[in-house]
């Protein structure tokens, strides 16, 4: 296996993902507990992540000495490179400008990381994000690639099998980065690269059994893919020690609540409590317009309803959740890094402490598409597994301004038409997420001979691989006008339709 030491970069999980793509098992440990993880895992190699700190600052994170002196292959990325140089006798200096974004590096020499990927004399695109830079190498290292801003863009110490780079190989903007990481884990560390999702399933099943023993588990279903996959996996591990509770907040898309119920009761025969709490949620949302206030209310109410159902069931000490990696990174700063809270995701935090329950979160390190692979591996129907992601707070965060039953119904109708057209055009699977947003803006229109003064609907569709970055989807000509016409004709209350072209960043996928 590979140990990834996390120095708090926003993209550390992408390193783990690239390593999985290379068919190798890895675990991430925050730098504070990396020494213990190293001891326990006995990995074949260690990757040191980027991070927001400066090695020049007092008290900034260091690589544990055990790892540095282990003689194992090491791979430092950005902060990881700077920490290696600082600790092995090189020099790091504060840059006064830094390099951020796309950059080009010139390959100067051979290096095991470059095997069958890059050759001397070539120039390649990479993604830089650094202020400090290495200005003198530690003994034993040689530069193998350089950029305009980073003379030591890639450095190698072949004898000790230590490699380091200033840029980020794990992000998609370094197109060959995954291959460099694959070379490290397979060729340098000598791992076979035969790890698969089937093994992940078995590993997790064993872990769940080990964690839960003969205890009882309650799983909150949101109606989405993540919690469903988590529940099915856990059911496979411990059978009817699991009870699922589906808190139906009435903020789902058309028909989706029924789908979940029939899948669990009919297809899998997993014990399920279905709570219809629409009235409770809508009455509490009355008058609430602030996005975070909506999210917090929904999260809190979800917890209260769930808690009271759990009490009725009784006797469970474990709580299962379908938390994915992007939920974790965007919700909390759990590595000590500065990842700021962008939105408070409703499926993380609060509940277990309050209910005094232990968490079972088997999907915590996965990205959405990996959860889908796992879902297929577990036999969930394609139509369900392939479903676009849907946020925990549901349609409430797609209705900027006040959420009412009437506005939910308008949005549900419009959204269903949009998705139907997308499916009919064969575009559903090419899109990461498509949805409509009902704006708190009215515009003037003319229908027949009359004046209308109704709501504006925004359509959004994005492509993405992990939800952390996204681009607006370009529909073929004629598609959007067709949807606009249908929506305006068929949905009372909407008289204008627009399309949202914002990418993430700087936008987020959802509007709230």
Could you list the residues that contact ligand XMP (CB under 6 A)? 327, 330, 343, 345-347, 389, 391-393, 433, 467, 504, 508-510
470: which 2 tokens? 């996204």
CB nearer to ligand XMP: give 291 or 493: 291
Note whether 414 and 436 are within 8 A (CB): yes
Task: Kindly state the smallest distance separating residue 217's Cβ from ligand XMP, in Å.
Answer: 20
CB nearer to ligand XMP: give 241 or 321: 321
Q: What CA–CA distance (Å, rounded) separates 244 from 253?
A: 20
Task: Kindly state the smallest distance separating residue 38's Cβ from ligand XMP, in Å.
Answer: 32
Write down the H helix ranges in 314-367: 325-331, 351-355
Cα torsion 116, 122, 126, 132: sign: positive
Binding residues for ATP: 222-228
Task: Kindly state the smallest distance separating residue 381's Cβ from ligand XMP, in Å.
Answer: 21
CB nearer to ligand XMP: give 76 or 394: 394
30: which 2 tokens? 């925050």
Question: What beta strand segments (E) does 256-306 contain?
Answer: 272-276
Beta-carbon contacts of residue 114 (< 8 Å; ≥ 6 apart): 107, 144, 180, 183
Q: What CA–CA distance (Å, rounded) separates 2 from 14?
A: 14
Q: Which residue is it, tokens 């470059």?
A: 114
Task: Kindly state the smallest distance separating residue 302's Cβ from ligand XMP, in Å.
Answer: 10
**CB neighbour burial string for 242-268, b if at least 16 within 10 angstroms, e if fewer:** bbbbbbbbbbbbeebbebbbebbeeeb
With helix as H, strand as E and coil as C, how does 407-420 read? HHHHHHHHHHHHHH
DSSP 58: T
CB nearer to ligand XMP: give 86 or 330: 330
Binding residues: 222-228
Task: Kindly state the smallest distance separating residue 447's Cβ from ligand XMP, in Å.
Answer: 33
CB nearer to ligand XMP: give 85 or 437: 437
CB nearer to ligand XMP: give 53 or 509: 509
Task: Kindly state the smallest distance separating residue 467's Cβ from ligand XMP, in Å.
Answer: 4
Strand partners, 163: 75, 156
Q: How many helices (H) and strands (E) does the chain have?
A: 16, 20
**Nearest CA to 371 among 230, 223, 166, 174?**
230
CB nearer to ligand XMP: give 18 or 294: 294
Q: What CA–CA distance (Å, rounded) separates 167 from 351?
A: 39
- Cα distances (angstroms) measured from residue 414 to each of 434, 441, 448, 478, 487: 12, 16, 21, 18, 6
As a whole number of angstroms, the longest Cα–Cα distance in the chain is 83
Note whether 84 and 138 are within 8 A (CB): yes
Task: Kindly state the smallest distance separating residue 252's Cβ from ligand XMP, in Å.
Answer: 13
Residues designated catalytic: 78, 168, 170
Beta-carbon contacts of residue 437 (< 8 Å; ≥ 6 apart): 398, 399, 400, 411, 457, 458, 459, 460, 500, 511
Residues in the chain: 512
């Amino acid at each position: 296996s590979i140990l990834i030491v996390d120095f708090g970069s926003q993209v550390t999980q992408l390193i783990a993902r690239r390593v999985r793509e290379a068919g190798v098992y890895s675990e991430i440990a925050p730098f504070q507990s990396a020494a213990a993880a190293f001891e326990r895992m006995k990995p074949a190699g260690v990757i040191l992540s980027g991070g927001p700190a400066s090695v020049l600052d007092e008290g900034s994170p260091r690589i544990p000495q055990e790892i540095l002196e282990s003689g194992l292959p090491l791979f430092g990325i950005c902060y990881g490179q700077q920490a290696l140089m600082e600790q092995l006798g090189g020099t790091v200096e504060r840059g006064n400008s830094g390099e951020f974004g796309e950059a080009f590096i010139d390959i100067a020499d051979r290096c095991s990381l470059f095997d069958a990927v890059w050759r001397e004399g070539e120039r390649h695109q990479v993604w830089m994000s650094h202020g400090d830079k290495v200005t003198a190498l530690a003994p034993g290292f040689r530069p193998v690639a350089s950029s305009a801003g980073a003379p030591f863009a890639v450095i190698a110490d072949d004898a000790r099998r230590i490699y380091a780079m200033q840029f980020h190989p794990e992000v998609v903007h370094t197109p060959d980065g995954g291959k460099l990481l694959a070379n490290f884990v397979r060729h340098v560390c000598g791992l076979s690269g035969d790890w698969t999702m089937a093994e992940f399933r078995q590993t997790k099943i064993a872990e769940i059994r080990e964690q839960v023993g003969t205890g009882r588990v309650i799983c909150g279903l949101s109606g989405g893919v993540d919690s469903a996959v988590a529940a099915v996996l856990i059911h496979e591990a411990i059978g009817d020690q699991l009870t699922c509770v589906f808190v139906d907040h009435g903020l789902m898309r058309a028909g989706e609540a029924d789908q979940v119920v029939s899948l669990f009761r009919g297809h899998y025969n997993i014990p399920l409590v279905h709570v219809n709490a629409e009235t409770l949620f809508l009455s509490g949302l009355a008058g609430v317009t602030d996005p975070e206030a909506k999210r917090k209310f929904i999260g809190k109410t979800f917890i209260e309803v769930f808690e009271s159902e759990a009490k009725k069931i009784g006797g469970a000490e474990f709580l299962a959740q379908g938390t994915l990696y992007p939920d974790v990174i965007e919700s909390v700063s759990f590595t000590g890094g500065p990842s700021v809270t962008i939105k408070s995701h409703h499926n993380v935090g609060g509940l277990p402490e309050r209910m005094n329950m232990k968490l079972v979160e088997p999907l915590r390190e996965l990205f959405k598409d990996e959860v889908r692979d796992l879902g297929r591996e577990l036999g969930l129907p394609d139509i369900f597994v392939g479903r676009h992601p849907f946020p925990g707070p549901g349609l409430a965060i797609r209705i900027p301004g006040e959420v009412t039953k009437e506005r939910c119904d308008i949005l549900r109708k419009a959204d269903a038409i949009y998705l139907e057209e997308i499916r009919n055009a064969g575009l559903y699977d090419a899109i990461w997420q498509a949805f409509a947003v009902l704006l708190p803006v009215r515009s003037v229109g003319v229908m027949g001979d009359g004046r209308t003064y109704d709501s504006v609907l925004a359509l959004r569709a994005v492509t993405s691989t992990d939800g952390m970055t996204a681009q607006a989807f370009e529909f073929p000509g004629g598609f959007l006008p067709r949807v606009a016409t249908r929506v305006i004709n068929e949905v009372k209350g909407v008289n204008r339709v627009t399309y949202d072209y914002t990418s993430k960043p700087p936008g987020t996928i959802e509007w709230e």
